[in-house]
Amino acid sequence: MVTDYGRVAKVEIAADGDGLVSRSGTALIAELSDRLGLTSALSGALTDTRQRAGGHDPGRVLRDLALTLCDGGDCVSDLGALRDQGDLFGSVASNATAWRAIERARGRLDALREARARSRAAAWKSGGAPAEIVLDFDSHLVNAHSEKEGATPTWKRGFGFHPLLCYLDESGEALAGVLREGRAGANTAADHVEVLGLALEQIPQSHLERPILARSDSAGATHEFARALREADIRFSLGFQITEAVREAILSVPEAAWRPALCQDGQEREGAEVCELTGAVALEAWPEATRIICHRERPHPGAQLSFTDADGHRFQCLITDRAGSDIASIEARHRSHARVENRIRCARETGLQNLPFRDFGPNEVWLELVLMAQDLLCHTQALCLEGELRLAEPKRLRQRLLHVAGKLTRSGRRSTLHLPRRWPWAAALVAAFERLRALPGAG
């Protein structure tokens, strides 16, 4: 109620409502996880850890923890948000039971990953497959504020962990990740190769014959990683450090060799140009047909230049084995690797802000739950939502859909969830449930 002066008037408060729920949209994700087979796959992966027939299914408990992360939780106790909504989510485990389920999942990461892969295959079969497969690799620092196993000083002089992650560019799906100590190097080739293998296991077999491009910043530019990509028949586009030899090659490029750089929409990028340095820099140690491309651009006002910059330009280089004479398009596509930062920001909003456990093993399980939650959000958007909601980041999705209040009524054996008539996004949520229940190939 609002007065003529724009002030909210006092309202009477009474705790006498029946059938009220506050997580209507999160129930959409719960239903999707069941239809895509994620819940049953998790149950199968942990069936032998179930101690008694009448107890909570450990797989269902892990699914509920992933829902909690979708819903905005960041620790086990936040499972209470679902537990308090029993009419929507059924019987939800206690915090102690959830902790035991995580403890029993230690050493079963492969089984959890297989469950995610099966769910992804069902989602892609139902219409959620991306038009192209581009793998984006990046690492991220997760701070720890207490002594935890594996938490060590980081290269940014902090203290915590340094997971390495791989995302699918088009959809934002979280393909793979490994938890590492804080002192782990950003450019550790063995870790990149491991995450590559895990990411490929997440891609349905029928899609592995499609062209695949892998992108990384300069941390991924190692001979071992490039060779692993070549052996897997995956094209690569990797940031390349500007050494003194590269800088000399850049400065020797004739001005006429520079051509306009492109924006992501294909339009020319003002003040930016590209050129090819292949032949001017030694690349014999890299896979055959590797090229090096340089981007130069006038920095924004106030930006500080480094010793590798010259003539008021900022330079960036990449190495790639992509063919073609349109180096501007190749360079522009590499530059869109920056979107992986958005994916990691979403991960922080979906449980990666903090690793809640003392021991390393449970935190590895937690990372898998974070990836699982990101997948569920992405699949919900791809299969059930349209317009701006399909592109919304987790915080906005929660504000507009997941945390919508509703009222459950029952008539005979039929239950109905009533959404607020004047809620701006009520029609979108109704349509999302309708699309979910009409999906082909799911279940």
CA angle 351, 58, 31 (to 5 degrees): 65
> Residue 138's beta-bridge partner residues?
165
Portion of the chain with pLDDT greater than 90, in percent: 84
Portion of the chain with pLDDT greater than 70, in percent: 94
Instruction: Write the pLDDT tens digit of every residue in 374-405.
Output: 999 999 999 999 999 999 999 999 999 999 99
The per-residue pLDDT for 84 is 93
Residue 53 pLDDT grade (very low, low, confident, very high; cuts 50, 70, 90)? low
The whole-chain average pLDDT of the chain stands at 92
The per-residue pLDDT for 133 is 97
The per-residue pLDDT for 312 is 66
Structure tokens at 248: 């000399």
Say whether pLDDT at 6 is over 70: no
The pTM of this model reads 0.93
The per-residue pLDDT for 387 is 94
Name which of 319, 295, 315 is nearest 237 in CA terms: 319
CA dihedral 65, 67, 72, 78 (to 10 degrees): -40
Say whether pLDDT at 299 is over 90: no
Which helix (H) or strand (E) segment is 102 a member of? helix 95-104
3-state secondary structure of 352: helix
More confident residue, 256 or 412: 256
**Phi-psi region at 441: left, alpha or beta (left = phi > 0; alpha = psi -120 to 50):** left
Instruction: Write the pLDDT tens digit of every residue in 74-130.
Output: 999 999 999 999 889 999 999 999 999 999 999 899 999 999 999 999 999 999 999
Which helix (H) or strand (E) segment is 26 a member of? helix 24-35
HEC string of 210-236 equals CCEEEEECHHHCCHHHHHHHHHCCCEE
Average pLDDT of the segment spanning 418-431: 94
The per-residue pLDDT for 17 is 81
> Residue 181's beta-bridge partner residues?
161
Say whether pLDDT at 443 is over 80: no
Instruction: Write the pLDDT tens digit of every residue in 101-115.
Output: 999 999 899 999 999
Spell out the domain ranges in the chain.
Answer: 20-109+356-437
Average pLDDT of the segment spanning 298-322: 75
The per-residue pLDDT for 227 is 97
Say whether pLDDT at 314 is over 90: no
Residue 344 pLDDT grade (very low, low, confident, very high; cuts 50, 70, 90)? very high
Place of tokens 């450990």: 58
Instruction: Write the pLDDT tens digit of every residue in 12-21.
Output: 888 878 888 8
Instruction: Write the pLDDT tens digit of every residue in 211-269.
Output: 999 999 999 999 999 999 999 999 999 999 999 999 999 999 999 999 999 999 999 99
Average pLDDT of the segment spanning 283-306: 83
- Least confident range from 42-51, 66-75, 316-325, 328-337: namely 42-51
Average pLDDT of the segment spanning 187-205: 97
More confident residue, 74 or 53: 74
The per-residue pLDDT for 136 is 98
The per-residue pLDDT for 48 is 78
Structure letter (DSSP) for residue 10: P
CA distance 320 to 278: 10
Say whether pLDDT at 302 is over 60: no
Average pLDDT of the segment spanning 264-282: 93
The per-residue pLDDT for 303 is 55
